[in-house]
Amino acid sequence: MNQPSDGPGRAHVVTITAAHCASAFAALGLPPYLPRLLPELGDPNARWAGLLYVLPTLCTALAAPVWGRLADRHGPKLLLVRAQFGLAVAFGLAAIAQNMTSLVIALIAQGLLGGTYSASTAYLAAGLRGPRLSGALALMQGSARTALAGAPVLAGLLSTMLDVRQMYGMATLLPLAAAIATLILPAPTGAGRSVRAAAEPTTARTGITVAGMCLAEGGFVLVTVITFPYFLPLAHQIAPGLAPVLIGLLFAAPHLCYLLACAFTLRWLRGRARAGLTAGYALAAVSAAVHLFVAPGAGALAWLVFGRLVLGAALALGLPSLSLLATEAATGRRPGKLFGTVEAASKSGAVLAGVAASALAGFGPAAPLAVPVVAGLALAAAVAGFTRPAPGPLIAPTTTS
């Protein structure tokens, strides 16, 4: 059962995606409740909530390239299981935290020992190529969107029955279950990718460069995630008295748009990935501008809904385009190193978004949206430059038998 295979089948891809979704539910759903835990640990005003929120992301950005290189050396399956067990250990540490120091250690462990997204994509890229790989990467994005939209709702329901540490204790079960499911899967051999690339190390490469892929990924994260921490107060400001359930639906709406449209847009964008990414950046800027300039009053809710749907269109075009470009970048490259590096860039974009949002939040909950307006338009104008293919010799990957 654990013998190497020629590449993950559909059932294996679904298992990897579901395992990532389970792990991500805990990682994404619990951090918003840190302000409730901090007073019990010696921070009565939750002054450190913002820093602690971004701490795991920063640590993941630092650790992902290292784990990626180890995946190329020791096999992506082993490193994926390691990431899942690492998350379980981190959540367990948070569940027994008795002071700020122990909580900080737990969150650092979450960032350094986790990294299930890049480990999962490395596993898939080691055994798939072409349309099958881009489809699997789009499905992975779907798992992330599902977790991002659903995790806060589930955590909110649990918070009525459990305290935060008890929720972290329950959360350890999710990555443990994911690790057990992954252990059953075969170890991919690279579908011949590594063997072929190693046998032809001088073949010309015509795809996007790693640097271009990193800028594309990090830039898209920057222009789309900066609204997340401040959407709740912004929605209350724009539409006072709006029911919490409706605010939750508005928060989830862009992610639901992606889930509904991604299968179609992925097919339509084949051969048009750069145009799709350009449109994604531009639509993200338009959405941010709508959120930024809409004022309370008649019609405000309709404008807010419009802004969320435009952001959904940005995700539905931009994320499949990134999957297609990542497939292009993966040709002839070591999957662990590539996706570890891209994950570091993605997390760096999230950290930059968090820092920028914190710096501007003093001017009001809408002020951070100036960043995606400017950055989205600038990136849209520059896509053709930083995604330009750069011919050169292939890197001869090491095999992962």
| Lookup result for tokens 């050396």 | 73
pLDDT band for 367, please (50, 70, 90 cuts).
confident
Shared-domain flag, residues 168 and 259:
no
Shared-domain flag, residues 368 and 228:
yes
Kindly state whether residue 194 falls inside one of the protein's structural domains.
no
> What is the tens place of the pLDDT at every residue in 198-214?
334 444 456 889 999 99
Shared-domain flag, residues 166 and 262:
no
> What is the tens place of the pLDDT at every residue in 98-132?
999 999 999 999 999 998 999 999 999 888 888 89
Shared-domain flag, residues 116 and 234:
no
Residue 67: how many CB atoms within 10 A of its CB? Answer: 25
CA distance 7 to 267: 22
Kindly tell me if the per-residue pLDDT of 401 is higher than 50: no
**Single-letter residue type at 121:** T
Kindly state whether residue 196 falls inside one of the protein's structural domains.
no
- Of residues 238 and 216, which shows the higher confidence score? 216
Shared-domain flag, residues 221 and 183:
no
Q: Residue 137's closest CA among 9, 259, 17, 278?
A: 17
- Of residues 191 and 355, which shows the higher confidence score? 355
Kindly tell me if the per-residue pLDDT of 193 is higher than 80: no
- Of residues 71 and 364, which shows the higher confidence score? 71
Axis-axis angle for helices 273-293, 370-386 (nearest 10): 170
Which region among 110-119, 158-167, 223-232, 339-348 has the lowest average model confidence (pLDDT)?
223-232
> What is the tens place of the pLDDT at every residue in 18-67?
999 988 887 887 887 787 888 888 888 777 876 788 889 899 999 999 99
Helices of type H across 269-369: 273-293, 300-330, 335-360
- Domain with 351, as residue range(s), is 207-386
Which residues make beta-bridge pairs with 188?
Answer: 5
Q: What pLDDT, on the 0 to 100 scale, is given for residue 302?
A: 87
CATH code where residue 165 lies: 1.20.1250.20
| Lookup result for tokens 């122990």 | 102
